[in-house]
Chains A and B, each alone.
Chain A
Amino acid sequence: MNPKRFSASQIKFYLILVPLGIFMILPVVMVINKAFKPLGELFAFPPTIFVRDPTLKNFRDLFALSGTTGVPMTRYLYNSIMITIFTVIINLIITVSAAYAFSKKKFRLKGALFNINQMALMFVATAVSVPRYIVIQETGLMDTWLAHILPLIAMPVGLFLVKQFVDQIPDALVEAAIMDGAKDFRIIQKVIIPLTKPALATSVVLTFQAIWNATEASNNFITNDTMKTLAFYLGSLSTNNTVAAEGMASAAAVLLFLPNLIIFILMNTQVMNTMAHSGIK
């Protein structure tokens, strides 16, 4: 386990893992290269993996495109960025408050309520898209940003992970803060958040991936095209199958993937750290 140096016994693992790693990443590398290919190279046959003469033309075409609805792509980009920022921030605040209450407060039904959350880990959102549609309609949230944001705020996995971490903060620390006159808000701000950073980072990554790639709301709860998201729009683009569109679809895919990658790189060490403590205990 976790060897410090190379030994011959590791060769067999490298023989399996290295080709596999290349196989996993190769399609991704291909599409990223494709996004920068000029038209001539897109038509080239047989297709090459790496781009020879990179260009930003595919991205420029993508931004210039306004689709059949006349809504410019920048509008979708703006929607997606704003919706994502709001969702991640609200989710973070609400999750850490609830995790703090579940871990350090005593109240009736605590065990039962946390068990319900535990059960909800196996919740399949797509199974209730129909009732969610009805809820959204009844609450008058159709065609608003809130229809994108609110369904993704309460995330059972996030609460679960953060609560596991808050559990590891000694009760004495919280009690000392209370002695010093700190109220809940200050305790969360000064004690809980600094000490649970890894779990919070993981929760942010999970929320980010869920909201940034989400198309459920745009498909089902939004009829007004100017309120839909980038993921939805680019997804609808990629059904177009001409060669030129392939270049643009690749550019779209890269554009959608980039923020995911940046967030993951920023949070990487923190995420790995959480995972060691993520067990259902």
Chain B
Amino acid sequence: MEAISTVTAGSKKKRKASVYRSGFRTFLLLFPYGLLFFTFIAIPIAVAIGLSFTSFDVINRPTFTGLTNYIVLVTQDEAFLKFVLPNTFKYALIVGPGGYVLSFLLAWMLAQIQKIPRTILSLAIYTPSMLGNVFIGVIWKSIFSGDQRGIFNHILIQLDIIDQPIQYLLSPDYLMNIMIFVSLWSSMGIGFLAMVSGILNINEELYEAAYVDGMKNRFQEIIYITIPSMKPQMLFGAVMSIVNAFNTGWIGVTLSGQNPTPGLAGQLITNHIDDYGFLRYEMGYAAAVSVALLLIVMIFSKIAHGLFGEKDEL
């Protein structure tokens, strides 16, 4: 947090007297954001933690049950342990870090070509990320449609790879892989654009100096110059891609049209929360799953900070 410390240190000397007078006005500036932040982010997290120790069905008052929900979650919830948790980890690890590495490589390649084709190609790669759930659902449902009219089935039948159309989106064997594929396709968003401009902003002289010092090839260029020079953008992108990976739980439900997804193959932790919270109204249990999810995201973000953060950050 260099920026904060310099700002506080710098303004310490100045305007000491006006600090008190402007105190109330500063409060007014911060109040609307603070109020909404606490109402819709902080309080919900606190409520989730509180409810996770109770049994609550929305109608009757919550009753305290201690750690029961968590114990059930890690010992008895077969759907969670057998499907939801492994699914979530598989999905999030490939889409999060995988998508992240992919977006770095793409950004790096884009930085190697001329401006106009670069802009066009960046836009083509960015477009899927701004489509929204409805558009993504429409596209991939028609491509992976289970009858002969499905484009993917049609191509495979033409090529004599399969004889009969396959119900990709309703088959537990395929659903997860299709979800990962579609998510990667639509994940080159703002984080990806940040990487492109991050790489382009690296001082040209750094590379020249490094070649003088004996750097030999493009690979060393990436390891020794590109990545260290854009650590801040890398960190921002890493955190955003992890959060994004855990946030896109709707995709399996949209593609298959069912919650729970067929054979629980595409069931992610957010679907599990929806399932218990809004279909079964076991809010206490759903809250415990929510807390587990927030903890998982935090752990992943910490790892990202460990990899790309400077020592004095967060």
Interface residues of A (CB under 8 A from B): 1-6, 10, 13-14, 16-18, 20-22, 24-25, 27-28, 30-31, 34, 45-47, 94-95, 97-98, 100-107, 110-111, 113-135, 139, 150-151, 153-154, 156-157, 159, 164, 167, 171, 175, 178, 183-184, 202, 205-206, 209, 212-213, 215, 219-220, 231, 234-235, 238-239, 241, 243, 246, 249-250, 252-254, 256-257, 260-261, 264, 271-273, 275-276, 278-281
Chain B CB count within 10 A is highest, among A24, A102, A153, A280, for A280
Q: Which residues of B contact A30 (CB under 8 A)?
A: 139, 142
Q: Shortest beta-carbon distance, B35 to chain A, in Å?
A: 8
A101 with B30: in contact, given A150-B40, A264-B130 (CB under 8 Å)? yes
Give 1 or 0 for each of B163-188: 1 = CB within 8 Å of chain A CB.
00000000000000000000001001
7 closest cross-chain pairs (CB), A and B: A279-B232, A131-B47, A131-B44, A98-B33, A213-B132, A128-B44, A21-B124
A126 with B247: in contact, given A111-B8, A272-B197, A280-B236 (CB under 8 Å)? yes
Give 1 or 0 for each of B228-253: 1 = CB within 8 Å of chain A CB.
00111101100110110011010000
Q: Which residues of B contact A110 (CB under 8 A)?
A: 4, 8
With an 8 Å Cβ cutoff, the count of chain B residues facing the other chain is 115
A31 pairs with B273, CB closer than 8 A? no
A98 pairs with B138, CB closer than 8 A? no
Q: Which residues of A contact B232 (CB under 8 A)?
A: 278-281
Interface residues of B (CB under 8 A from A): 1-5, 7-8, 10-12, 14-15, 18-19, 22-23, 25-27, 29-30, 32-34, 36-37, 39-48, 51, 106, 109-115, 117, 120-121, 124-125, 127-128, 130-135, 137-143, 148-149, 151, 154, 185, 188, 190, 193-194, 196-202, 204, 207, 230-233, 235-236, 239-240, 242-243, 246-247, 249, 254, 257, 270, 273-274, 277-278, 283, 286-287, 290, 293-294, 297-298, 301, 309, 313-314
Q: Which residues of A contact B130 (CB under 8 A)?
A: 209, 257, 260-261, 264
A281 pairs with B2, CB closer than 8 A? yes
16 A-B pairs within 8 Å (CB atoms) are namely: A2-B111, A21-B124, A30-B139, A34-B142, A94-B32, A107-B26, A123-B45, A125-B247, A127-B293, A131-B44, A134-B283, A151-B40, A154-B33, A184-B25, A209-B130, A275-B190
| Number of cross-chain contacts by CB at 8 Å | 321
B190 pairs with A202, CB closer than 8 A? yes
A106 pairs with B143, CB closer than 8 A? no
A154 with B36: in contact, given A1-B202, A253-B135 (CB under 8 Å)? yes
A129 pairs with B135, CB closer than 8 A? no
B3 pairs with A281, CB closer than 8 A? yes
A107 pairs with B23, CB closer than 8 A? yes
Complex formed: what's the CA distance from A123 to B134 in Å? 23
Q: Which residues of A contact B138 (CB under 8 A)?
A: 31, 238, 246, 249-250, 252-253
Complex formed: what's the CA distance from A38 to B94 in Å? 40
